[in-house]
Amino acid sequence: MDITHIKSQFPIFSRKINGKQLVYLDSSNSAQKPTSVLKALDNFYKNDFSNVGRSIHALAVNATNKFEETRVNVRNFINAESKDEIIFTKNATESINLVANTFGKQNIKKGDEILITELEHHSNYVPWHYLREMYGAIIKFAPINEDGDIIISKFKELITSKTKIIAITHLSNVTGTIVPIKEIVEIARKKNVPVLVDGCQSAPHIKIDVKDLDCDFYAISCHKVYGPTGVGVLYAKKKWLEKLPPYIGGGGMISEVKKDRITYAPLPEKYEAGTMPTAEVIAFSESIKFMESIGIENIVKHENELTNYALEKMKRINSLNIVGNPKKKAGVISFTIKGIHPHDISTIVDEEGVAIRAGHHCCQVLHERLNLIATARASIGVYNNKEDIDIFCNAIEKCRKVFDLK
């Protein structure tokens, strides 16, 4: 992989931060966008703009065709059975809320159980909390060990005859833990329990094959996959999309509207009410093409090597503690430095042009489990290289000097 060439495709890296070269280590928050994605957005608004699925003039037909082309590209990207199993939302949060809301209406009653884990992002906890409030459901948290791995034996024990759904992350945005989804789905299948996977962090960094995983639902946020903001994907097995009710009502998701009755559009339009983020969906095709041009296997190899390089360098820094040591880890490294608040770490390294995140990363339950209030986090993208890691580690050493740490 020619990282210099890859990096050159991202205009933002020509920018200086505080007069310094930008080192962007916040891709878990949101990834930067290649030129091809930016051009696609610009071109659509300049030359091709129209709403989709409404009119039959040339612009509308062209926009609709490009919109549907993205659906096919997403289907291929995650190896879904049918393009009708691909629903566009505004983000992964909405994708998870769609499932929680529609599944909850049909299947959740007082005393029913929802199984999640201590690793979950708030987006894969709060929607299920709503079901707890509305229907009296019970949320169970599968525990993790000190390394940040799910304790599979405990996970199995928490599944009962009252378990209605399992909702679980594929990759932790704090510890970098890669969760053994296939094993968990196999456990769930024996109990006839459906599984929703939060794939926000995994989609840019792991080869996703939903048929192999056999999960029922898979949620993706496109802005983390080098795509635009305002677009998410929900993959759902067709049997669920046919069975569950619509989520939002309005134009585009109807077949026939009468004063006394309404019938709904076929899949996937049934779940895509109103005007969709057309330009952003179309531009997301370029994100997929960008990743496929490099090869997901090459991306995984590069990011694994860079993660190991970063871990080795960071472990040599006095007073720095890396959070979690899972069996399988992706390029998400949360850490603390004794005597320095994570917000101060982030502020000082920013002076050196290094962008990292600090806080609880929308994972307060996990931070509480780890007895931490906040952490600093460096997260790797396809455009990062060893020079970025060196600059980052030098910035950390400067931070230590500011606080006069030995």
185-192 long-range contacts (CB < 8 A, ≥24 apart) are 185/213, 185/214, 185/215, 186/214, 187/152, 187/155, 187/156, 187/159, 188/159, 189/214, 191/159, 191/163
Q: Tell the residue number behind the tokens 């989609």, with chain if given.
A: 203
Which domains, and CATH codes, for the chain? 3-29+295-402 (3.90.1150.10), 38-292 (3.40.640.10)
Count of residues making up the chain: 406
pLDDT at 404: 79
**CA–CA dist 304, 127 (Å, integer):** 32
pLDDT confidence of residue 10: 98
All residues at 6 or more sequence positions from 364 whose CB lies less than 8 Å from its CB, including other chains: 122
Average pLDDT, the chain: 97
Q: Has 222 been annotated as catalytic?
A: no
Asked if pLDDT for residue 164 goes beyond 70, the answer is yes
Cis peptide upstream of residue 194 (ω within 30 degrees of 0): no
Helix (H) or strand (E) holding 320: strand 320-322
Helix runs in 18-57, H state only: 35-43
Catalytic residue (choose from 215, 362, 363, 393): 362
Q: What is the CA radius of gyration of the chain?
A: 22
Q: Quick: pLDDT tens for 58-97.
A: 999 999 999 999 999 999 999 999 999 999 999 999 999 9
Chain segment 300-330, per-residue pLDDT in tens: 999 999 999 999 999 999 999 999 999 999 9
> What pLDDT does 356 receive?
98
Q: What are the strands, taking DSSP E only, across 127-187?
A: 138-142, 163-169
Residue 272's pLDDT is 97
- How far is 68 from 174, CA to CA, in rounded Å? 34
Q: Which residues contact 3 (CB under 8 A, 6 or more apart)?
A: 302, 383, 384, 385
End-to-end CA distance of the chain: 38
The residues pairing with 379 across neighbouring beta strands, listed in sequence order, are: 26, 332
pTM of this prediction?
Answer: 0.97
> How does residue 391 score in pLDDT terms, banded at 50, 70 and 90?
very high
Q: What is the arithmetic mean of pLDDT over 344-368?
A: 98
Whether residue 406 is predicted with pLDDT greater than 70 in this model: the reply is: no
* Plot region of 19 (φ>0 → left; ψ -120 to 50 → alpha; else → beta): left
pLDDT of 235 above 80: yes
User: Measured between alpha carbons, how far is 20 from 254 in angstroms, rounded to an integer?
Assistant: 53
Partners of residue 337 on adjacent β-strands: 320, 340
Q: Is the pLDDT of residue 185 over 70?
A: yes
